[in-house]
Amino acid sequence: MAVGKPVNIEEQHKLQDALDILAENFEFNENEGAFVTFSRAIAVLKSLPYTISRMGNLDGLPCFGDETRAIIEEILEDGVCSKVESLLCDEKYKARKLFTSVFGVGLKTADKWYRQGFRTLEEIKSAKDLKFTKMQKAGFLYYEDINNAVRRPEADAVGQIIENILHECTPDVTLTLTGGFRRGKESGHDVDFLISCPDEEKYEGLLHKAVSKLNSRGLLLYCDFMEATLEKRKLPSKMYDAMDHFEKCFLILKLSKALVKDGGLSASSVSVVRPPNEGAETEVKTQTKDWKAIRVDLVIVPPQQFAFALLGWTGSRHFERDLRRYTHFEKNMMLDNHGLYDKNKKVFLEAKTEEEIFAHLDLEYIEPWERNA
């Protein structure tokens, strides 16, 4: 295999960003096959210890087909990709990307707003005839904070707040940080936690009690509960992106600068955001802001399913997709956030740890920080 020069971050990002934009558009257009193809190529690029500086560097690498190769070749030769440049000028793509950046806005809503002639968030917020969900109102109200990355010290501070409150409710409860932060990343879009307790009877009302305490202390900016639907689950889902059946809540919490150990939340002068649909005559005040709105997901997991939930919620998205594909096609089993089902034996396989799940699949254990690509 031809090896390129040492990694040049700027050059490597140019290739990744181009494929990322195209993959995102495939996802917008619900072209699952093309999205997965491009996503796998991106994952390979991210894992390389060298820069792709000529086409020969792709020899022997997996996940690069004719289309991804053609795009990389064009960038290496011309410095840009014509498809990407065209897409970046496309009004529909720009509107979809902008609108879906709002918490609570999905593709269908984004497309609806686009068809109605909206092109900016300000146009949407000031529209008199639009109705917004509670989630979307929060998304607009805390837009800037939510779209700024959450850093690891902030995630740790949020975790300490929630853990303290949970222990007030149930002393033997455990809180586990998942997602990209468990994979060793230093920043992310939100913070995900799994909650578990040896005594399942103590789960009753636990999330509601914890959220009530957060609210009473002035820390709760938004909350949406999803009750458990475990009785609906029979076999593991064949759909990778299917929502699991655990009890959970989606929060926006108010994190004070003083609670972040590295002092990373700097106070700044900011304009108070006008809620959607309020007229231009509404007074917009400027005040010093020494807190940040942080997106948090809390998930209640029964002890016997904790290992499977931990594996699923840790990610990454592409790692989980390929692990479940391997489980299905190579082992004739089914894996999701709830369990592992052996289709040959027609039984669920038990596991108390992630290591035991990998052992069932005859795979060497892969550490969380090795699952990013």
Per residue in 171-198, pLDDT (tens digit) is 899 999 999 999 999 999 999 999 999 8
Look-up: residue for tokens 């494929």?
Answer: 19
* pLDDT for 322 beyond 50: yes
Main-chain dihedrals φ then ψ at residue 234, nearest 5 degrees: -110, -70
- In the three-class reduction of DSSP (H, G, I as helix; E, B as strand; rest coil), residue 369 is classed as helix
What is the rounded (10 degree) CA torsion for 181, 187, 189, 193? 20
172-to-163, 197, 202, 228, 298 alpha-carbon distances in Å: 11, 6, 10, 21, 17
pLDDT tier for residue 261 given thresholds of 50, 70 and 90: confident
For this structure, is 156 an active site residue?
Answer: no
Query: Picking from 230-239, 253-262, 318-327, 330-339, which range would have the lowest pLDDT averaged per residue?
Result: 230-239
pLDDT tier for residue 288 given thresholds of 50, 70 and 90: confident
Please tell me what DSSP assigns to residue 5. Answer: S
193 contacts: CB under 8 Å, gap ≥ 6: 159, 162, 175, 176, 177, 178, 296, 297, 298, 299
Please give the model's pTM, rounded to 2 decimal places.
Answer: 0.87
- In the three-class reduction of DSSP (H, G, I as helix; E, B as strand; rest coil), residue 368 is classed as helix
How far from chain centre, in Å, is Cα 97? 16
300 forms beta bridges with: 195, 247
By percentage, how much of the chain surpasses pLDDT 70?
90
DSSP string, 257-324: GGGSTT--S--EEEEPPPPTT--TTS---EEEE-EEEEEEEEEE--GGGHHHHHHHHH--HHHHHHHH
145, 192, 244, 336: which one is catalytic? 192
20, 224, 297, 342: which one is catalytic? 297
User: Are 74 and 48 within 8 A, CB to CB?
Assistant: no
Provide the pLDDT for residue 9. 60
Number of alpha carbons in the 13 Å side-chain half-sphere of residue 222: 23
Provide the pLDDT for residue 272. 47
* pLDDT for 72 beyond 90: yes
H-helix or E-strand spanning residue 336: none
For this structure, is 145 an active site residue?
Answer: no
> Region 104-117: what's the mean pLDDT?
97
Provide the pLDDT for residue 230. 80
Residue among 121, 131, 127, 68 at smallest CA distance from 96: 121
Question: Domains (ranges, CATH) in the chain?
Answer: 9-88 (1.10.150.110), 91-131 (1.10.150.20), 150-304 (3.30.460.10), 305-370 (3.30.210.10)
DSSP string, 49-70: SB---SGGGGTT-SS--HHHHH
**Residues comprising the chain, all counted:** 373
Give the tokens for residue 20.
């990322």
By percentage, how much of the chain surpasses pLDDT 90?
77
For this structure, is 59 an active site residue?
Answer: no
